Amino acid sequence: MVIIEVSLLSGFVMTSRSRMLLENKTIVKKIEVKADVVYIYLEKLNDESQTFILQLEQVIPVKNLKPAIIKIYDYYQPGGLQISYCSGVGC
């Protein structure tokens, strides 16, 4: 199982439409939203390219946003962690 851990930008929440679109992907096993982090659990990955789009809604205006962190790791072997940074639209 693979986990995509998305730290949301300050002042933003994931839209319910975004959650629904993710849940309709056959590879997505489960989605958890805890405070400012979204966890997307994937059954497995293969050589096929995958695209995941999270639609966010700004609920609190925040200045000087810091980059969000996106982590991708194997649930059973988290040592092979991949980290990316996202600072806004089109990450």
Cα(80)–Cα(54) distance, integer angstroms: 24
Check whether 89 has a pLDDT greater than 60. Answer: no
Confidence of residue 76 (pLDDT cuts 50, 70, 90): confident
Query: What DSSP letter does each residue of 13-57 carry, written as one string?
Result: EE-HHHHHHHHTSTTEEEEEEETTEEEEEES---SS-------EE
Hey, is 79 helix, strand or coil? helix
User: Computed from CA positions of residues 56, 13, 46, 73, in that sequence, does the dihedral angle turn out positive or negative?
Assistant: positive
| pTM higher than the cut 0.85 | no
pLDDT, position 91: 56
Q: What average pLDDT does the segment 64-77 reach?
A: 83
3-51 per-position pLDDT tens digit: 999 999 899 999 999 999 998 888 999 999 998 999 999 987 778 888 8
Domains of the chain by residue range: 1-59
User: Computed from CA positions of residues 90, 66, 76, 42, in that sequence, does the dihedral angle turn out positive or negative?
Assistant: negative
Check whether 88 has a pLDDT greater than 70. Answer: no
pLDDT, position 6: 92
